[in-house]
Chain A
Amino acid sequence: MKLFKTLSVAAMAIALVTSSVSAVSAASSLKGTIVVNGSSALLPLTLQAANEFKKLNPKVKISASAAGSITGPQSVRKGIADIGAVDWDASQDVPGFKKFDGQVAHKVAVIPFAAVANKNVKVDNLTTKQLQDIFSGKVTNWKDVGGSDADIIVVNRAFGSGTRVNFQMKALAGSDFLSKGNNYKEVKSSGDMKTAVETTPNAIGYIDLVYVTSNMKALQINGVAPSETNVINGTYKVWGYGYYMTKGQPDGATKAFIEYIQSAKFQNGSLKKLKFIPISAIK
């Protein structure tokens, strides 16, 4: 009960965006260590939230690592992490992965994904069917989808990447990827994907919208451009939630941390600045 009281005080303090001494001392009674592991795409968000949270609760230690989405819920199950960051709802079955029993999913952000191509590609728009054909290897030349006569270089993320799972479910409607060929490669991280698409002529890939730069071309899907507005108004479908998984309902510092990340202050402040979309924006 006492804990709950402290928490509510903390939450209020945070909500009021005060950094007054009284608020800090009230919140700082929280103690403990939080270990976050899992998706690397959510890592910037976690790190930023951890920085802010640590300022309000100096006695809480947060350490984060990121090996890959599936590592998150797995570490939670093994008991070596308190929070598992993952790009899909790991309490449900998704293509390739079974659900994790006894874990609770907390939505923390909305992540839009975009199909991207090298600057030299003339195509601006692809339909779901065309995307399916390209990523399954049925179409291998840009001229077949309205571009110039050049081989399509497909850049893919490794199996199990959260971005790949989401892109497969939302943009390709679940159809399979090709897995070999002379014009096909896999990359390890969002950064590698960015570099590969930027530097390889005729390349196509996909990436979190956050990483899209002016050195690459974000393709429209079925005539809709990937943008925050189009995600919020419901026309752009290729997005997913980022989740924090916990073993059962969280308590103590872990609970406070998740609440902080879900709070309106963080969602509309730092989270937006990091170019994620607040969960409350989606109806």
Chain B
Amino acid sequence: MKSASTGTSGMFRTGRGINNINNRIFTVFVWGISACIVLFICALLYLILQKGLPSLTWDFIMGLPSEMEEGGGIGPALFNSFYMLFISLLISIPLGMAAGIYLAEFAPNNKWIGFVRICVEGLASVPSIIFGLFGIALFVEMFQIGLTIIGGAISLAFLNLPVMTRVTEEAIRAVPKEMKQASFALGATHLQTIRRVLVPTAISGIVTGICLVAGRAFGESAVIILTAGVTTSGEMWDFNLFSPGETLAVHLWYVQSEAIVPDAVSISDKAAAVLVFIILMFNIVFRIPLWIKDRKNR
């Protein structure tokens, strides 16, 4: 694995001891720290998954929640999680990508773009509770639609827009400019260049962005408690956009902080494990096309 880099450096090494020692120390140091962090992450994941996964049953995943008796499920909350994530991505991916492409490709390089970029980063730092309050002011008070899936999904999309925008911008900027010039030289228009050259080349970075955004949206609770409520419509497969939309993360919060059911601890362990497991799946599913593409290119 180190063949390319150390090989070349080995060939040209003129035997300066101190550099070599530094290099060794550095490599060991990085390996050490990384190993510690990786171990830590694995321990963390193990801790979460091990408490929940073994006792997971199909009934729990698809079942209706219960307030008093043991054995309540998470079905509607899980469904809402996916449904709301889907709607919010439907809004945030196109908008975020378009804004990112603007910043990377169209924006004049002056104070204005600096200003827009600061706006985007500023928006990224807005605490989720403030998005929640904003969501209430917008959907519940102004549009009077109450606590709904659509209100929650749009608020979530707002929360995710800045990350999507900036990740897209960075990814497109990182495309070597030769590729772009080559495309222009072949007579492609700007739009064609973006569609056929820039976005496909930058897709790995953009997918990272989508993964980050999807993961965050899936685990977000504060915004949804305020804009979509803590109830589900009480049935599976409810596609109504105006139903109350408790998601799995909100259910987890509820079970941890207020629920009275005797098996609350076990429900929260299992729900946390399901959440983490699904996010793991996201990461893998989103990556498969990239791996395939990688293979082809080789």
Of all chain A residues, the one with the shortest Cβ separation from B268 is A191
Select which of A48, A62, A66 is within 8 A of B68 by beta carbon: A48
Q: Is there contact, CB below 8 Å, between B257 and A210?
A: no
Select which of A54, A67, A80, A191 is within 8 A of B256 by beta carbon: A191
Of all chain B residues, the one with the shortest Cβ separation from A48 is B67
Q: Is there contact, CB below 8 Å, between B231 and A64?
A: yes
Within 8 A of A (CB), among B265-283: none
Q: Is there contact, CB below 8 Å, between A190 and B258?
A: yes
Select which of A54, A64, A78, A211 is within 8 A of B230 by beta carbon: A64
A63 at the interface (CB under 8 A from B): yes
Question: A24-62 vs B: 1/0 string, CB under 8 Å?
Answer: 000000000101000011011001101100100000011
Point out the residues of chain A lying under 8 angstroms from B68, CB to CB: 48, 270, 273-274
A278 to chain B, nearest CB (A): 15
Instruction: Tell me the bound Cα distance from A61 to B226 in angstroms.
Output: 18
Q: Is there contact, CB below 8 Å, between B258 and A40?
A: yes
A101 at the interface (CB under 8 A from B): no
Of all chain A residues, the one with the shortest Cβ separation from B250 is A65
A275 at the interface (CB under 8 A from B): yes
B260 at the interface (CB under 8 A from A): yes
Q: Is there contact, CB below 8 Å, between A43 and B244?
A: no
Point out the residues of chain B lying under 8 angstroms from A138, CB to CB: none
A188 at the interface (CB under 8 A from B): yes
Q: Is there contact, CB below 8 Å, between A51 and B258?
A: no
Instruction: Tell me the bound Cα distance from A139 to B68 in angstroms.
Output: 39
Q: Is there contact, CB below 8 Å, between B233 and A61?
A: yes
Task: Decide yes or no: A47 and B231 within 8 Å by CB, A80-B146, A270-B68, A273-B68 being known contacts.
Answer: yes
Task: Decide yes or no: A44 and B234 within 8 Å by CB, A51-B67, A65-B229, A80-B141 being known contacts.
Answer: no
Point out the residues of chain A lying under 8 angstroms from B141, CB to CB: 78, 80
Select which of A66, A189, A274 is within 8 A of B67 by beta carbon: A274
B243 at the interface (CB under 8 A from A): yes
A93 at the interface (CB under 8 A from B): no
Within 8 A of B (CB), among A248-283: 270, 273-275
Q: Is there contact, CB below 8 Å, between A80 and B140?
A: yes
Q: Is there contact, CB below 8 Å, between A65 and B230?
A: yes
B198 at the interface (CB under 8 A from A): no
> Most chain-A Cβ atoms within 10 A of its Cβ — which of B67, B244, B259?
B67
> Most chain-A Cβ atoms within 10 A of its Cβ — which of B146, B147, B256, B260?
B260
A197 to chain B, nearest CB (A): 14
Q: Is there contact, CB below 8 Å, between B230 and A43?
A: yes
Instruction: Tell me the bound Cα distance from A273 to B70 in angstroms.
Output: 12
Of all chain B residues, the one with the shortest Cβ separation from A62 is B231
Within 8 A of A (CB), among B144-163: 144, 146-148
B102 at the interface (CB under 8 A from A): no
Point out the residues of chain A lying under 8 angstroms from B243, CB to CB: 61, 63
Task: Decide yes or no: A211 and B260 within 8 Å by CB, A51-B67, A65-B229 being known contacts.
Answer: yes
Point out the residues of chain A lying under 8 angstroms from B48, CB to CB: none
A59 to chain B, nearest CB (A): 12
Q: Is there contact, CB below 8 Å, between A47 and B260?
A: no
Point out the residues of chain A lying under 8 angstroms from B256, CB to CB: 191
B164 at the interface (CB under 8 A from A): no
Point out the residues of chain B lying under 8 angstroms from A144, CB to CB: none
B60 at the interface (CB under 8 A from A): no
Q: Is there contact, CB below 8 Å, between A33 and B146?
A: yes
Point out the residues of chain B lying under 8 angstroms from A270, CB to CB: 67-68
Point out the residues of chain B lying under 8 angstroms from A48, CB to CB: 67-68
Select which of A47, A65, A190 is within 8 A of B226 by beta carbon: A65
B134 at the interface (CB under 8 A from A): no
Instruction: Tell me the bound Cα distance from A270 to B136 in angstroms.
Output: 32
Q: Is there contact, CB below 8 Å, between B258 and A41?
A: yes
A5 to chain B, nearest CB (A): 27
Q: Is there contact, CB below 8 Å, between B260 and A274?
A: yes
Q: Is there contact, CB below 8 Å, between B226 and A67?
A: yes
Q: Is there contact, CB below 8 Å, between A44 and B260?
A: yes
Instruction: Tell me the bound Cα distance from A62 to B259 in angstroms.
Output: 18
A192 at the interface (CB under 8 A from B): yes
> Most chain-A Cβ atoms within 10 A of its Cβ — which of B225, B243, B258?
B258
B82 at the interface (CB under 8 A from A): no
Q: Is there contact, CB below 8 Å, between A43 and B147?
A: no
Point out the residues of chain A lying under 8 angstroms from B225, CB to CB: 65-67
B154 to chain A, nearest CB (A): 17
Instruction: Tell me the bound Cα distance from A211 to B140 in angstroms.
Output: 32
Instruction: Tell me the bound Cα distance from A63 to B67 in angstroms.
Output: 15
Instruction: Tell me the bound Cα distance from A64 to B231 in angstroms.
Output: 6
Q: Is there contact, CB below 8 Å, between A40 and B226?
A: no
Point out the residues of chain A lying under 8 angstroms from B257, CB to CB: 40, 188-192
Top 7 nearest A-B pairs (CB, nearest first) are A63-B244, A191-B257, A189-B257, A48-B67, A65-B229, A64-B231, A44-B260
17 A-B pairs within 8 Å (CB atoms) are namely A33-B146, A40-B258, A44-B260, A50-B231, A50-B234, A54-B234, A61-B244, A63-B148, A65-B229, A67-B226, A188-B257, A191-B256, A191-B257, A192-B257, A210-B260, A274-B67, A274-B68
User: Which positions in B face A, CB cutoff 8 Å?
Assistant: 67-69, 136, 140-141, 144, 146-148, 225-226, 229-231, 233-234, 243-244, 254, 256-261
Given A61-B243, A273-B68, 10 more A-B residue pairs with CB atoms under 8 Å apart are: A44-B259, A48-B67, A61-B244, A63-B244, A80-B144, A80-B146, A192-B257, A210-B260, A273-B69, A274-B260
